[in-house]
Amino acid sequence: MVLFVLSLGSLFLVSLLLGVHLFGQVSLNPALRAQSAGTYIPVKHALDISAPRLAKPLMQVGLLAVSATVVAAAISGQALATIASVVSLAALIATLVAILRGDLPINRRMSAWTVADVPSDWEKVRAQWERYFAFRVGTNAAALAGTVVTAVASVYLRS
């Protein structure tokens, strides 16, 4: 029962995190890509301030919940739930690494941009940022898949 409750909590949190990422991938990024530098830069600056207010605590709590689910799955002895929860945790860690090693350094670079002084390679840098963002959407989706398998296994494969 503990494993099931933890896996449902993890499922909820990872789903929310993926929702945030998917909204960016399918709505915000294409809309921003269609804008000139004069529009893109101030909107990107505003998003880089507001988005972490939700995404950062969601990622932190999600990592904690999935970690607790890994421990509960291992203790339960359910091999499939354990493997799936480890996959979910590894995917969330990969998401976090992409954020810390890819997105944030690029965001710091972009934060120095001004509309009056647009770098000549701004579109190339934006495309690089979008690649990291797309990667994290994929890893977040893998985390969700692992969490779904964990929740299902915790119900149907009880010892």
Among 46, 51, 45, CA closest to 25? 51
Answer whether 0.85 is exceeded by the pTM.
yes
Looking at residue 156, its pLDDT comes to 85
124-157 confidence digits (pLDDT tens): 999 999 999 999 999 999 999 999 999 999 998 7
Residue 57 clears pLDDT 60, i.e. is over it = yes
Looking at residue 106, its pLDDT comes to 97
Residue 158 clears pLDDT 80, i.e. is over it = no
- Give residue 1's pLDDT band: very low, low, confident or very high (50, 70, 90): confident
Q: Which two tokens stand for residue 53?
A: 């207010």
Amino acid 83 reads: I
Average pLDDT taken over every residue of the chain = 95
